[in-house]
């Protein structure tokens, strides 16, 4: 999990320096455009640009592939489903265990479009994730008027995620060494204990954290400072969106 959650090694890249709010704004404009476009070019173009930007950021291709594994499986499933859904123009037929499946041209196009949208949208989200720190993203979301309580909870979750995860892995390793996962019954019991131990740890940690934070002046709110938005960055982002928008109709 750490590989995916920690920032990869990155150069001092333009995208890293760009204001998180601008990046989020671009993503929030481009995502609906991807979801609503009727052609293949726009989502594929966004996807190609995003993937190449990720690689320029120093993200390893293996990490990118791991990130894309689940969405691509989904894309494949939907593509197959749409292709074999009865349509107007039969394209080919194949026999699976004596059952004849007919592939349709219109289904192929519809399925391909959804697969392209998934590829484009996932690549864009991956670029945002790889080029922006979590706190920067939450700060941007706060600027977009997301409820402060939600931001605070997310910050707490993020701060203690790795500690809990490491604790869970230590317990899991110990359980495994004591044959805690031989057989489903035993495995299930061990997993229940592991998850329960994490809940206990969460409760205890929340008390300790609150005491420590209260001593440092925590009054139930976490202030997030916002830098003024740089107009040049906003203008550059608008230009990129406008240029990409040309391909939305294609």
Partner 1 sequence: MKKVLAFTIMMHFVAAPAYAMHISEGLLPLNWAALWFAVAAPFVVLGVRRLNTLAKDDLAMKPLVGLLAAVVFIVSCMPIPVPTAGTCSHPCGTGIAAILAGPLIGVVISTVSLLLQALFLAHGGLSTLGADIVSMGVVGSFAGWFVFRGLRSVGTSLALAAFFAGLATDWGTYLTTSAELAAGIRGTAPFWPLATKIALAFVPTQLPLGILEGAMTAGMVTLLQRKRPDLLVKMGVVKESKVAHA
Q: Give residues 61-100 in contact with partner 1 (rule: CB under 8 A).
A: 67-68, 70-71, 73-78, 80-82, 84-85, 96-97, 99
User: Which residue, chain included where needed, has tokens 């726009």?
Assistant: 42
Q: Out of 54, 57, 59, 126, name the contact with partner 1 by CB under 8 A.
A: 126
Identify the CA nearest to 40 among candidates 89, 110, 87: 110
Residue 218, phi then psi, degrees to nearest 5: -70, 125
Stretch that binds partner 1, among 12-20, 24-32, 53-61, 231-239 (CB under 8 A): 24-32
Q: Strand, helix or coil at 145?
A: coil
CB 153 within 8 A of CB 59: no
Please say which residue, 199 or 228, places its beta carbon nearer to partner 1: 199
What's the chain's length in residues?
250
| Displacement of CA 83 from its chain's centroid (Å) | 27
List Cβ neighbours of 107 (8 Å cut-off, separation of 6 or more): 82, 83, 84, 85, 87
Q: Does residue 54 bind partner 1 (CB under 8 A)?
A: no
CB 117 within 8 A of CB 43: yes
Please say which residue, 230 or 249, places its beta carbon nearer to partner 1: 249
Please say which residue, 18 or 118, places its beta carbon nearer to partner 1: 118
- The two three-digit tokens of residue 59, written as one number: 């993200």
Kindly report the number of other CB atoms within 10 A of residue 174's CB atom: 12
Q: How many helices (H) and strands (E) does the chain have?
A: 10, 2
CB of 15 to partner 1, least distance (A): 15
CB of 186 to partner 1, least distance (A): 12
Q: Out of 62, 184, 231, 232, name the contact with partner 1 by CB under 8 A.
A: 184
Residues 137-156 close enough to bind partner 1 by CB under 8 A:
137, 147, 149-150, 152-156
- How many angstroms separate the most distant Cα atoms in the chain? 72
Please say which residue, 147 or 227, places its beta carbon nearer to partner 1: 147
Q: Out of 44, 125, 234, 241, name the contact with partner 1 by CB under 8 A.
A: 125
Please say which residue, 202 or 235, places its beta carbon nearer to partner 1: 202
CB of 243 to partner 1, least distance (A): 21
State how far the Cα of 37 lies from the Cα of 39, in Å rounded to an integer: 6
- Spell out, one character per residue from 221 to 250, where the chain touches partner 1: x when CB under 8 A holds, - when not: ------------------------------
Please say which residue, 146 or 250, places its beta carbon nearer to partner 1: 146
- The two three-digit tokens of residue 60, written as one number: 């390893």
Stretch that binds partner 1, among 13-21, 49-57, 110-118, 235-243 (CB under 8 A): 110-118
CB of 230 to partner 1, least distance (A): 23
């Amino acid at each position: 999990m750490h590989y995916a959650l920690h920032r990869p090694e990155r150069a001092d890249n333009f995208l890293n320096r760009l204001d998180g709010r601008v990046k989020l704004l671009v993503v929030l404009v481009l995502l609906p455009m991807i979801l609503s476009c009727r052609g293949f070019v726009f989502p594929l173009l966004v996807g190609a640009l995003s993937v190449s930007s990720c690689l320029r950021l120093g993200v390893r291709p293996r990490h990118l592939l791991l990130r894309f594994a689940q969405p691509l499986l989904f894309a494949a499933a939907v593509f197959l489903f749409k292709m074999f859904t009865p349509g107007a123009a039969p394209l080919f037929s194949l026999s699976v265990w004596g059952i004849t499946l007919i592939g349709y041209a219109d289904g192929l196009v519809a399925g391909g479009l959804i697969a392209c949208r998934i590829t484009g949208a996932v690549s864009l989200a991956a670029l945002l994730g790889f080029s922006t720190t979590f706190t920067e993203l939450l700060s941007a979301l706060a600027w977009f008027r997301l409820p402060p309580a939600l931001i605070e909870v997310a910050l707490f979750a993020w701060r203690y995620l790795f500690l809990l995860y490491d604790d869970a892995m230590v317990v899991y390793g110990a359980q495994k060494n004591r044959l805690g996962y031989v057989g489903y019954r035993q495995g299930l019991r061990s997993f229940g204990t592991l998850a329960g131990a994490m809940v206990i740890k969460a409760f205890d940690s929340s008390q300790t954290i609150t005491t420590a934070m209260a001593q440092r002046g925590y009054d139930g709110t976490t202030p997030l400072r916002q830098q003024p938005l740089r107009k040049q960055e906003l203008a550059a982002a608008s230009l990129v969106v406008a240029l990409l928008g040309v391909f939305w109709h294609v």
